[in-house]
Amino acid sequence: MTVTRIPRYFWLAAVMLAATLAASPALAQVAAFVNGAPITHYDIEQRTKFTQLTGHTAPSRQEILNELIEEKLKTQEAQRYSLEIPKADIDRGVSAMASRGGMNLEQFTQALAAKGIDLETIKHRMRADLSWTQLVRGRFPATLSVEEKEVRDAIEKKGGEAEAATYDYRLHQILFIVPKGSPRSVIDGRIREAEALRSRFENCDSGIALARTLRDVAVRDPVRKSSTDLPNNLRDILNNTPIGKLTKPEENAQGVAVFALCERQQNTADTLEKRKAKAELFNARYDAVSKRYLNDVRRSAIIEYK
């Protein structure tokens, strides 16, 4: 009887594979391959938990799997065009998500862990969404472009509602720094200092110079903001603040802040109604292009269900 000798490298590979699967059971539970890249049952469970946490109606397991397949296709297509989202952008996006929930990154991570959710599942989704958005915008700029006439036609089609005036502001943030963990008395003292500065603030030139001489006060570089980018309450505050004066003190994570309104100009070329109409047109166009593009990518993909 002839005995076939199995090469030594085959045994080594088998041992390494067994060790990997033993160390990471999820790798042994592949639900699908997308162009050779695995999606595991663990991935599906993680996404299901996250979707339920966001308050959406719990989708079926197949719907979650389909969502993950599409994300994998988006990421792979972006990589085909050498489009990579910097890690810093992902980290900023996650931090912003935490801030919207009133938490810092560490608290957000712990809150997710308490629900059995790994922060990486959010990062994977964010990376896929950001890279796909950039890819679609970069490949189809002419198709996505919205002309001024289209905006006017869209407004007229809705009945030509009156267009509210919009403004551009030039602002300086002045921050009265409060060390983390300070008692309420310290915060109240800084609010009184901010109010004292308000009473002495006559204009941006002399007022900013005065603020720079105060103890533990940071004067930020000037920024320009449009009223269309601001929430209604802040827009009302700035519209009711005289030019060259300070807004009322507000507490934030770094201390007590006021804004110096150094300039306010009406923007006749851009209004809330135009912004809204343009955004609606662009979003509808983007959704159609994105869907068509993703369908093309999916048709040429090799997807294997396990």
**SS3 for 31?**
strand
pLDDT of amino acid 163:
54
Q: Is residue 89 part of a domain?
A: yes
**70 and 120 inside one domain:** yes
Query: What's the number of domains the chain is made of?
Result: 2
CATH code of the domain in which 177 resides? 3.10.50.40
pLDDT for 31 beyond 70:
yes
pLDDT bin (cut points 50, 70, 90) of residue 45 is very high
Does the residue 15 lie in any domain? no
Structural domain for 104, as ranges: 24-132
The answer to whether residue 301 is domain-embedded is: no
Is 127 in the same domain as 172?
Answer: no
d(CA 297, CA 292): 9
Pairing of strands 303-305, 30-34: antiparallel
Decide if 284 contacts 9 (C-beta within 8 A): no
* 119, 188: one domain: no
pLDDT at 5: 43
Last residue of one domain, picked from the residues 108, 132, 156: 132
What b-and-e string marks burial along 58-74, b requiring 16 or more CB atoms within 10 Å of the CB? eeeeeebbebbbbbbbb
Mean pLDDT across the chain: 85
Q: Is residue 138 in some structural domain? A: no
Radius of gyration of the chain (CA): 27
Check whether residue 189 and residue 128 sit in a common domain: no
Question: Is residue 45 assigned to a domain?
Answer: yes
Within-domain flag for 210: yes
Q: Write the pLDDT tens digit of every residue in 53-96.
A: 877 677 899 999 999 999 999 999 999 999 989 999 999 999 88
User: Are 170 and 124 part of one and the same domain?
Assistant: no
Residue 255 buriedness (CB in 10 A; 0-12 / 13-18 / 19+):
buried
Using CA atoms, how far apart are residues 189 and 120, in angstroms rounded to an integer? 42
pLDDT tens sequence across 205-227 = 999 999 999 999 999 999 998 88
Lowest mean per-residue pLDDT among 8-17, 22-31, 276-285: 8-17
Residue 158 lies in a domain: no
Answer whether residue 253 is part of any domain: yes
To the question of pTM greater than 0.75 for the whole model, the response is no
CATH number of the CATH domain containing 60 = 1.10.4030.10
Q: Domain check: are 77 and 177 in the same one?
A: no
